[in-house]
Amino acid sequence: MTNSIGKGWAAGLVSAIKDPKNCIISSEDAVVIRDKYPKAQHHYLVLPKADIADIFHLTLSHLPLLEELYLLAQNVIEVKRCVMDDFKIGFHAQPSMQRLHLHVISKDFVSDCLKTKKHWTSFNTELFLPYQDVTTRLKADGCIKRLTKEKIQQLTTCALECNQCEFVPKNVPDLKRHLFDHWTQKR
């Protein structure tokens, strides 16, 4: 983002990782915080203390840092007494914030903050890059390449589909009701 809101939000992430009360877990190189607008019951961000704009600024030299981010992601799941299989860990392929962050998000997607199709597709299509895919691409290519405009268009306009079954909802409210049913059945 190049507007002032985007810059303010990026600055907000930087100040959030410096405030000890926001910290769930930290290491010498990174911090885990709650997402301010969680899109699921559990939604955390793992941010490096180093100023790295996004995944497109990663190089092979960042692999040890990425491993540290992933270890912290695993740790927060353990601290919250959750199960790894119930989570997605990865990066947005089309980042909306100007600071590198690894999402640790439960697959339930039950949240008042999940409001738009864009919220859903950013986590449940190829717009979400699993951690392992990012490290594999980085090792193979030395960088992370941007998706083409055509691919982004295809992914953002695809039909909604439940991430837990074959249900195809009419709209986001229909999807949210359906996801809530999944969630209550598991509890």
CA dist 89 and 68 (Å) reads 13
Cβ atoms 89, 73 nearer than 8 A: yes
Annotated catalytic residue within 42, 62, 101, 103: 101
Four-CA torsion 11, 14, 16, 17, nearest 10 degrees = 180
182 tagged catalytic:
no
Sorted by sequence, the CB contacts under 8 Å of residue 168 that are 6+ apart come out as 159, 160, 161, 162
> Tokens for 49?
């203390």
Query: How many other β-carbons are positioned within 10 Å of the β-carbon of residue 164?
Result: 15
Catalytic residues: 101
